[in-house]
């Protein structure tokens, strides 16, 4: 009951000084909003990146000449490597027991036309029919092309959502013809919408059989890679070792030399993204925290003014039996009520602003428990840290001197 009574006194004191309370709230709101905007936006961006990376699947990896290039030195080293050869597909399929599926892939860019409409520099992927079973690409309409169509180099196409919207708005695209780099292809399917990350549209693509791709574009060279799916996550490492051994033998890599190719998993990509953005994320949160410190200083300043103005009130309360801890708790309640209220408002505003910012780069965020807990913890901590000194000063006042204070 004593704590509820002190809470009531704290609320009345804040309500009696509306302007002062509002100014204190404003300082906290600005601080929490800035921190929450950064945290929510970063969480949203990282979540979107992770969801795109996860499209590879947990038991899937890619064999490529290039690998993950993180420096100029690594780039020039990769340039010197031989491309992955077409023969590697048959060797891996024959020699890797844990490989469930092996898909040949190559990419290029070309203009796509339908009638008078043209889409420029669309990503054209030449992939085997089993690509649909390996990658996280879903059929939204129609079907994916078959092994028979791939075997006979049929000029059929599976298009992305953007290609469908731009070239077939209001029209069923299945069975219709498009021209890819001047060659006629028949649309057999449309992919479900996948969205975009950092303005990079993942729906602006067209997939054609790898055999048809080679017929039109020739041997892929440096752009050729393999997408391999292991039977399970448990045997992924063993599968990668098998593929590594097969390729080292095929490419005549000496035992004392490193691989002249790269095996990339979703975890590898995520690790690289995290390492590159870690310093950037810490820096942004650190800079935004400065405004929170300023908000905390505002809280302490106004609480100190409040203690000074209410010295006589504190003396009267002590003279009628209030203990030091009661005065301490009352003023701490006032600081906490102010900062936590500001924290709630800051969390809401921070999420709204972050959603707007992230929306500018075609991504979405949703409220996360981490962001909410962080916001409440920050606002509560601000109240405790910056409110404890004024509260202790009030609790230590001598009642006789306080009563005689004018």
**What band does 401 get if pLDDT is binned at 50, 70 and 90?**
low
DSSP conformational letter for 83: P
My answer on whether 108 and 221 are in the same domain is yes
My answer on whether 294 and 231 are in the same domain is no
Q: Does residue 10 surpass a pLDDT of 80?
A: no
Q: Which residues contact 299 (CB under 8 A, 6 or more apart)?
A: 24, 27, 28, 335, 338, 339, 382, 383, 386, 387
Q: Which residues contact 316 (CB under 8 A, 6 or more apart)?
A: 402, 403
My answer on whether 212 and 335 are in the same domain is no
Q: Under a CB-based contact definition with an 8 Å cutoff, are residues 126 and 208 in contact?
A: yes
Residue 379: inside a domain: yes
Q: Which residues contact 302 (CB under 8 A, 6 or more apart)?
A: 20, 23, 24
- Which of 227, 260, 293 delimits the end of a domain? 260
My answer on whether 246 and 128 are in the same domain is yes
Residue 356: inside a domain: yes
Range of the domain at 314: 2-52+272-403
Per-residue pLDDT at 54? 60
My answer on whether 361 and 218 are in the same domain is no
Name the residue among 196, 296, 261 with its Cα closest to residue 61.
261
Higher pLDDT, 406 or 82: 82
Residue 57: inside a domain: no
Per-residue pLDDT at 239? 94
Q: Does residue 319 surpass a pLDDT of 80?
A: no
Name the residue among 40, 34, 42, 47 with its Cα closest to residue 281.
42
My answer on whether 114 and 212 are in the same domain is yes
Per-residue pLDDT at 358? 62
Residue 178: inside a domain: yes
E strands, 94-182, are: 99-114, 117-127, 139-142, 156-159, 177-180
Chain centre to alpha carbon of residue 185: 36
My answer on whether 196 and 345 are in the same domain is no
Name the residue among 130, 102, 136 with its Cα closest to residue 230.
102
- Which of 201, 235, 260 delimits the end of a domain? 260
- Lookup: tokens for 388: 């404890």
Q: Does residue 365 surpass a pLDDT of 70?
A: no
Number of structural domains, the chain?
A: 2
Q: Which residues contact 340 (CB under 8 A, 6 or more apart)?
A: 376, 379, 380, 383
My answer on whether 93 and 123 are in the same domain is yes
Task: Indicate the range of 66-70, 114-118, 331-335, 400-404 predicted with least confidence.
Answer: 400-404
My answer on whether 123 and 254 are in the same domain is yes
Task: Indicate the range of 83-87, 170-174, 282-286, 365-369 predicted with least confidence.
Answer: 365-369
Per-residue pLDDT at 390? 75
Name the residue among 128, 131, 71, 61 with its Cα closest to residue 96.
61
- Lookup: tokens for 361: 């780069």
My answer on whether 245 and 176 are in the same domain is yes
- Lookup: tokens for 92: 């891996």
pLDDT above 90 covers what percent of the chain? 36
Per-residue pLDDT at 5? 64
Residue 116: inside a domain: yes
**What band does 280 get if pLDDT is binned at 50, 70 and 90?**
low
- Which of 234, 260, 286 delimits the end of a domain? 260
Q: Does residue 326 surpass a pLDDT of 80?
A: no
Residue 77: inside a domain: no
Element (H, E) at 386: helix 369-395
Per-residue pLDDT at 51? 59
My answer on whether 163 and 204 are in the same domain is yes
Q: Under a CB-based contact definition with an 8 Å cutoff, are residues 50 and 270 in contact?
A: yes
Q: Does residue 96 surpass a pLDDT of 60?
A: yes
Q: Under a CB-based contact definition with an 8 Å cutoff, are residues 179 and 115 in contact?
A: no
- Lookup: tokens for 375: 């916001």
Residue 266: inside a domain: no
My answer on whether 46 and 97 are in the same domain is no
| Total residues found in the chain within this entry | 406
Strand 262-265 and strand 60-64: the pairing is antiparallel
Q: Does residue 189 surpass a pLDDT of 90?
A: yes
């Amino acid at each position: 009951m004593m704590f509820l009574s002190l809470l009531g006194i704290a609320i009345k004191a804040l309500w009696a000084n509306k302007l002062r309370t509002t100014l204190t709230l404003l300082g906290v709101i600005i601080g929490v909003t800035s921190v929450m905007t950064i945290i929510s936006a970063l969480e949203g961006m990282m979540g979107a990146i992770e969801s795109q990376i996860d499209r590879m699947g947990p038991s899937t990896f890619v064999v490529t000449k290039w690998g993950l290039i993180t420096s100029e030195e690594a780039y020039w080293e990769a340039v010197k490597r031989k491309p992955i050869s077409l023969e590697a597909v048959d060797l891996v399929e024959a020699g890797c027991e844990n490989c469930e599926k092996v898909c040949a892939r190559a990419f290029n860019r070309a203009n796509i036309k339908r009638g008078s409409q043209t889409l420029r520099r669309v990503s054209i992927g030449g992939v085997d029919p089993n690509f649909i079973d390996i990658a996280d690409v879903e059929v939204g309409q129609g079907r994916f092309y078959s092994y028979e169509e791939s075997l006979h180099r049929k000029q059929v196409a599976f298009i992305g959502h953007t290609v469908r919207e731009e070239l077939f708005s209001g029209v069923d695209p299945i069975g219709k013809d498009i021209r890819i780099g001047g060659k006629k292809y028949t649309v057999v399917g449309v992919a479900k919408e996948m969205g975009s990350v950092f303005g990079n549209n993942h729906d602006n693509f067209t997939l054609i059989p790898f055999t048809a791709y080679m017929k039109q574009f020739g041997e892929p060279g440096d752009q050729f890679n393999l997408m391999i799916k292991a039977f399970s996550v448990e045997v992924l490492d063993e599968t990668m070792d098998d593929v590594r051994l097969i390729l080292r033998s095929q490419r005549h890599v000496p035992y004392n030399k490193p691989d002249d190719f790269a095996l990339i998993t979703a975890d590898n990509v995520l690790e690289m993204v995290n390492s590159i953005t870690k310093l950037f994320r810490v820096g942004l949160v650190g800079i935004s925290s400065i405004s929170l410190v300023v908000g905390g200083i505002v809280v302490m300043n106004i609480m100190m003014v409040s203690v000074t103005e209410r010295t006589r009130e504190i003396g009267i309360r002590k003279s009628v039996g209030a203990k030091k801890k009661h005065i301490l708790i009352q003023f701490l309640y006032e600081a906490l009520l102010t900062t936590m209220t500001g924290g709630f408002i800051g969390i809401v505003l921070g999420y709204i602003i972050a959603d707007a910012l992230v929306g500018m780069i075609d991504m979405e965020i949703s409220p996360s428990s981490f962001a909410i807990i962080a916001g409440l913890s920050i606002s509560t901590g601000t109240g405790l840290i910056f409110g404890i000194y004024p509260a202790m000063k009030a609790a230590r006042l001598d009642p006789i001197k306080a009563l005689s204070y004018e």
